[in-house]
Structures are given as C-alpha cells and as structure tokens.
Amino acid sequence: MSNAIGAVAAERALPAGGGAVIELGGGFGSGAEALLARLDAAGRGAAAAPYRFTELAPMFLRRAERTLRARFPGRPLEFGALDINRPFGEAGIAPGAYSLVYGVNVVHIARDLAATLGEIRTALGDGGMLVVAECVRPFAGRPVYVELAFNLLGAFRDAVLVPGWRPNGGFLTPEQWRSALEANGFADVAVFPDIAAIRKVIPQFVVAAISARRA
Ligand SMILES: C[S@@+](CC[C@H](N)C(=O)[O-])C[C@H]1O[C@@H](n2cnc3c(N)ncnc32)[C@H](O)[C@@H]1O
C-alpha cells in the first residue's frame, strides 16, 4: 500500500522533463520497483535519471541492487550507502543535485527530523520535491496498531523531540508533518489521500504520501 501510494505521488512530483531522483532507506527495493514500474507504465521510463537508491544496511543494499538491475536493465540506476542521521555529503551527495527525494516508511525514523529535513533540502535543487510515503498517525497521542512492535526500536524511543511537530518518535499526524516541513524550509505541503478529511470515517486507514516543495 505505501509503495503504491508513494509511487503515484512521486510520479506526479517528478518534473515533466524528468530529473535526478534519490531514494532514502530503500530496503530491499520494493518502493523503487513500484515507482520505476509506474514511470514505465506512464511512458516515462527515462524520467528518473539517474535513480540513486540508498540504504543504510549493506545486505539490503546489495539485494536491492541485484533485484533492480535485473528488473530494469539499462536504466541509469545508482546504488550507495546513506545514513539519514548523518550529513548526506558523507555519502557523496552534492548540494542541489536532485529534483526528487523519495522515501517509503523511512523518514519518520530520523533521530533528529529537523537535521534530516535540512539534509534533504540541501540535496534538492530549486523547486525540488520531497515525497515520503508514511504510516500516518490519524489522531495525535493515539497509537497506531503497528507501533506495538516498533516501539521497541531505539529510533522510536530516542528521537529529538520538538514541541508542536515532533512530540514523539515514530509516526506523525498529517498536521505534524505539515508543521515539520514548513518549519524546515519546505512549502506546498500536500497529504495524499487526505487523512485529516477521512480519519473520522476510516480511522484504520493510516498510509499516506506527503509531498512538499523546497521553499
Ligand atoms: C521500514 S523499512 C522501509 C524499507 C523500504 N523503504 C520499504 O518500504 O520496504 C526502513 C528502512 O530504513 C532503513 N534505515 C534504518 N535506519 C536508517 C538510517 N539511519 N538511514 C538510512 N536508512 C535507514 C532500514 O534499513 C530499512 O531498510
């Protein structure tokens, strides 16, 4: 579900003429596969050029590279390690190099969300877009069912908290995402689907893509 919603939002966010894309915390590559397949289906197979796939865990990175190179031969794919909790320059990411930064179920893990959003902003060129597909907390302070296991992870417990938009580690509400992005140099924030509009009727729907433009 996150991959499908994220792919729709990311395809929309990519400029008509295409551009360089970097994915964060790509895991085994299922999010990249969904986005690249969606671009193919839209006749925009060459739009993500290059598509730089990054991940922290070397084993995930190796497996994703094998899978994606086999699935999309000839595509300008790049692979490299990147820790979203470290300056992206350490991973060889040049300022302003990307049109789209993409992440599926990863940016909420950031220990210091302001610092990570700052690195993402620096990696984007003028008008560049960030799209994150995330499990979204429908109501502030109310746990989401998948958190029972995730709460055991340090990333959920050790986050730098910020009143107003980072009251807890882990998942954020749509309003907290909006505030976090606006407080850290992004504009035109959109949440798809509009969780705030549907949460009273379908509180169990907790997946959304959040997009924002580098201000
Ligand atoms: C919930 S998984 C999501 C994986 C993939 N995006 C997906 O949706 O299938 C979170 C991913 O973030 C990676 N990760 C964890 N901490 C990270 C960090 N500090 N920097 C970059 N990636 C990280 C994990 O290795 C894992 O692949």
According to CATH, what is the number of the domain 2-214? 3.40.50.150
What is the residue with the minimal CA distance to atom 13 of ligand 1?
Answer: 25
From first to last of the 215 residues of the chain, give the pLDDT tens digit: 999 999 999 999 999 999 999 999 999 999 999 999 999 999 999 999 999 999 999 999 999 999 999 999 999 999 999 999 999 999 999 999 999 999 999 999 999 999 999 999 999 999 999 999 999 998 888 888 777 666 666 666 789 999 999 999 989 999 999 999 999 999 999 999 998 889 888 888 889 999 999 99
Task: Tell which atom from ligand 1 comes closest to the C-alpha of 85.
Answer: 19
User: What is the 106 CA–ligand 1 centroid distance (Å)?
Assistant: 5
Helix axis angle, 174-183 to 113-123, nearest 10°: 60
pTM of the predicted structure, to 2 decimals? 0.96
Q: What are the Cα distances from residue 42, in Å, to 1, 115, 194, 205?
A: 19, 34, 24, 27
For the chain, the distance separating the N- and C-terminal CA atoms, rounded to the nearest angstrom, is 29
Q: Which of 150, 149, 182, 185 is nearest to 165 (CA)?
A: 182
Place of tokens 């190179």: 69
Do the Cβ atoms of 111 and 154 come closer than 8 Å? no
Q: CA torsion, points 70, 30, 13, 175, in degrees to nearest 10? A: -170
Q: Is the CB of 6 under 6 A from ligand 1?
A: no
Domain ranges of the chain: 2-214
Q: How far is the CA of 150 from the centre of ligand 1 (A)?
A: 13
